């Protein structure tokens, strides 16, 4: 028996289905939200802060255990992955890009010590700011670095960018991104497929890229690395490849040997002078 018109699937992507009546069904399970806390072993504190109310944009801030009351630390703005669908379909792309830019500007509003959050005012080193993300979040991080290079970010020096298993154009998932972004300009949209001119304008000095063998996105991560080297950008870029692992493998076991290695490389990049 053929499905009813209402239940007929007209588009099916990695993370959602679209029915003939325009309903969207997310096919990935919803991740449970872990409340902010203080880790009793490491002393790391966390809290959630609403930075915009309309639309609602919030950040979770983590503060490591301090060695001294006035200690300044590098600041990382990390955009999580998840197929870009944290806001979709209620707020389609480019909402994720705009919200992340708002978050980075909110971070910058603390550079003179008079921002809304005391943790940032007192402990962030605004001469050592990084952007980063995994999967779709890595793609968003690229757009932030491009905006910093194009528009500037007063009071802040974005030193580096970290892309973990980044999503860019060149796979079957292109169709998903194009559907999620009704205002797209096609397969050459610079957010999906950044050109050499855009890459040359990245507003940071260093880039670290992680790719992994069994990830369908490995080729686009390598391609981003090669294009960045050819673009004329004046910074330094490094690529790290894990063997025999799948996309965002570390999320399944943060204590696995390769996950620990990835995190150590991540941290050393942030600490590098």
Task: Choose, from 135, 141, 198, 231, the residue flagged as catalytic.
Answer: 135
In the annotation, is 215 catalytic?
A: yes
Q: Name which of 92, 216, 236, 106 is nearest 165 in CA terms.
A: 216
Task: Tell me if 77 sits within 8 A of 103, measured CB to CB.
Answer: yes
**Positions of E strands within the chain:** 9-12, 16-19, 24-26, 45-53, 56-63, 73-79, 124-134, 158-164, 206-212, 236-242
Rounded CA gap, 223 and 172, in Å? 16
In the annotation, is 247 catalytic?
A: yes
Helix 95-108 and helix 136-151, axial crossing angle in degrees, nearest 10: 60
Helix (H) or strand (E) holding 259: helix 257-271
Task: Choose, from 134, 174, 198, 215, the residue flagged as catalytic.
Answer: 215
Q: Do strands 45-53 and 16-19 pair parallel, antiparallel, or not at all (unpaired)?
A: unpaired
Question: Which residues participate in catalysis according to the annotation?
Answer: 135, 215, 247
């Amino acid at each position: 028996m053929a499905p009813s018109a209402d239940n007929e699937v007209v588009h099916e992507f990695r993370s959602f289905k679209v029915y003939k009546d325009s309903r969207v069904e997310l096919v990935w399970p919803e991740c449970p939200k872990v409340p902010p806390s203080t880790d009793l072993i490491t002393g790391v504190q966390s809290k959630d802060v609403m930075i915009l109310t309309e639309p609602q944009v919030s950040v979770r801030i983590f503060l490591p255990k301090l060695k001294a009351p006035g200690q300044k630390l590098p600041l990382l703005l990390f955009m999580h992955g998840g197929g870009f669908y944290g806001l979709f379909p209620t707020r389609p792309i480019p909402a994720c890009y705009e919200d992340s830019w708002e978050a980075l500007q909110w971070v910058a509003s603390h550079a003179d010590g008079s921002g809304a959050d005391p943790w940032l005012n007192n402990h962030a080193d605004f001469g050592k700011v990084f952007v980063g993300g995994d999967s779709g979040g890595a793609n968003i991080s690229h757009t932030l670095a491009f905006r910093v290079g194009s528009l500037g970010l007063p009071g802040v020096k974005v030193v580096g960018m970290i892309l973990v298993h980044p999503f860019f154009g060149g796979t079957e998932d292109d169709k998903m991104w194009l559907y999620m972004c009704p205002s797209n300009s096609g397969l050459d949209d610079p957010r999906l497929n950044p050109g050499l001119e855009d890459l040359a304008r990245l507003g940071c000095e260093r880039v670290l890229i992680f790719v992994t063998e069994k990830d369908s996105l490995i080729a686009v991560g390598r391609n981003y690395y090669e294009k960045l080297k050819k673009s004329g950008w004046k910074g330094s870029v490094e690529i790290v490849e894990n063997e025999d692992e799948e996309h965002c493998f570390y999320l399944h076991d943060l204590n696995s040997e390769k996950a620990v290695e990835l995190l150590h490389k991540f941290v050393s990049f942030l600490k590098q002078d």
